[in-house]
Amino acid sequence: MLRRELEYFFGAVRFFTRLPVPAWVGHSSEALDRATRYFPAVGLLIGAIAALVFLLTSFVWPTTLAILAAMTSSLYLTGGFHEDGWSDMVDGFGGGWEKTQILTIMKDSRIGSFGAIALVMLLLARFCALLEFAWTEIPCVLLAGHTVSRFAATTLLRGLDYVRDEGKAKPLATRISWGELGFAGLTALLPLLLLPALEAFFGCLLATVATLWLARMFYRRIGGYTGDCLGATQQLSEVAFYSGMLCSFS
């Protein structure tokens, strides 16, 4: 049983990152369906590496460059997988009017003006938000942001239907069970324990609002989600989480 769970975890790591996995790990659509519970755990791994990169580089570079190094490391580790989904989603929903047109635009590998602008603004917002945190907070914030945002994307696997006949997220199209979603949620909760409770609450609150807003738009415009929609949800909810933590009412 432990070997099977490890196979599911490493399957999620292989699907979402460039990190090497053991040679004995198999590959099947069924195994990837079961791996959905480990998506926040992949975020925990990516966040931990980004946090480590920040800590190491901050000893020789100013905070601005250390944050850029941490962001670059996560982009490299994932191959810009989720960022690509964000730009494709914005292109599709920004340039398309009906379902077929939106899906066609999102499937196009070329990036349009909507997507390019949105990607630049998203990366800038992430950098500016992280820069507002104290040096000592940033590693824990990175850890939580990567984990919580991947849980936010995972909730779409429970609440919406996959709308393509094929695509990069087709192996994930089976709806996640409540038990698997609960396990993913508990994983996302772990790094939040390292943060001030009130800040973590507002971070999760704004990430939830961003996720619900996107989910409603996906349902209304195309009747469900695609792989690009999952990536877009992860990206926007991550920035929303950082922004929520920075909310001040004084």
pLDDT number for residue 11: 85
Per mean pLDDT, which range of 1-5, 115-119, 135-139, 231-235 is the poorest? 1-5
Mean pLDDT of 140-155: 97
Residue type, 195: L
**Residue at 74 is within a domain:** yes
Residue 81 has pLDDT above 80, yes or no: yes
Q: Which domain holds residue 130?
A: 2-20+27-245
**Residue at 164 is within a domain:** yes
Per-residue pLDDT of 37-57, as tens digits, reads 899 999 999 999 999 999 999
**Residue at 250 is within a domain:** no
Structural contact between residues 21 and 13, judged by C-beta atoms closer than 8 angstroms: yes
Residue 172 has pLDDT above 60, yes or no: no
Residue 20 has pLDDT above 90, yes or no: no
**Residue at 183 is within a domain:** yes
Share the mean pLDDT of the chain: 90
**Residue at 132 is within a domain:** yes
**Residue at 116 is within a domain:** yes
Q: How many domains does the chain have?
A: 1
Per-residue pLDDT of 227-239, as tens digits, reads 999 999 999 999 9
Residue 114 has pLDDT above 60, yes or no: yes
Residue 5 has pLDDT above 90, yes or no: no
**Residue at 55 is within a domain:** yes
CA distances (Å), 208 to each of 112, 147, 174, 202, 211, in order? 28, 13, 22, 10, 5
CB count in 10 Å sphere of residue 204 = 23
Residue 34 has pLDDT above 80, yes or no: no
